[in-house]
Amino acid sequence: MSQPEPDTQARRIATEARDRARFEEEALALADQVYRVARRLVGSREEAEDLVQETYARAFRSWKSFTPGTNLRAWLFRILTNLNVDRGRRIQRSPQTQPLEETDYYLANKLASAGGEEALETDEVVERLSQDSIVKALSEIPAQYRDAVVLVDIGDFTYADAAQILDVPIGTVMSRLHRGRRALKQHLAEEAVG
Amino acid sequence: MTKDPCDRCEELLQDYLDRTLTDAEWKEAEGHLSGCDYCSRRYKFEATLRRYVRVSAVERMPPGLMDKLAELRGLDATA
């Protein structure tokens, strides 16, 4: 194949530089959302910062493998969750403290028996749960269930996006999500009602 | 064996709020909820809790991180 004409090549380089700059700009615009979700996947602020930086470093290096027009946020999280699993940095629970499988009404039942049935209809009943207790309860969900809860309930990803990010079937996302939410409520119940 | 209708409704809770029930399950849940304060309150509670968890979990990006990320622009694929 013959060499492209010099001006064609210059144009190609200019186009690529522009595409790259656009990609970087779009990725950086998502940084706040990426950090917010990353922060709940790991145990500390420092780890979240490192993880987000590693994610962006990898994303910027491999920007050509992103297909324009597809979901950039999901693509970034695919990188982020892979890095997180590879580094073994996910908050791990010790096996002996795995939660029992509680039912979905567990927390509501506990709160109703402490404050009355009508209390469940008020916003105050959840507002009594402190922000710290929510954060702590999230961190206590077993890691693989927590990833699903954090991506869907905090990151607002669809089941399909979460499945792609975690590289598991949608059904697996759903069952991890359901179990993770039940575990969350169980931890909140222990925290709130004892 | 038929299940207790409230137990059945509890099973449908998460998918109901996620809007992933089949039409038949949706009708089943709606039918039960319209006549059951016990389950209605728990559904309402779950919806409120989800919103609250989302809001409570938010922690803003630390100052300085954005600049560090911006500095990564232009990283070479071979670096």
A32, closest residue in chain B (CA to CA):
B61
pLDDT in tens, A37-73: 999 999 899 999 999 999 999 999 999 999 999 999 9
The domain segmentation of chain B, as residue ranges, is 5-71
Of B3, B4, B9, nearest in space to B37 by CA: B9
Q: What is the CATH number of domain A95-193?
A: 1.10.10.10
Q: Which of residues 9-28 of A touch B (CB under 8 A)?
A: 20-21, 24, 28
A6-86 adopts what CATH topology? Answer: Rna Polymerase Sigma Factor; Chain: A (1.10.1740)
pLDDT in tens, A148-158: 999 999 999 99
Quote the pTM value.
Answer: 0.88
Residues in chain A within 8 Å Cβ distance of B56 = 129, 131, 134-135
ipTM value for the complex: 0.89
Q: Is the pLDDT of residue B79 over 60?
A: no
Which pairs count as long-range contacts for B12-17, CB under 8 Å and 24+ apart, including other chains? B13/A104, B13/A105, B13/B42, B13/B43, B13/B46, B14/A104, B14/A177, B14/A178, B14/A181, B14/B46, B16/B43, B17/B43, B17/B46, B17/B47, B17/B50
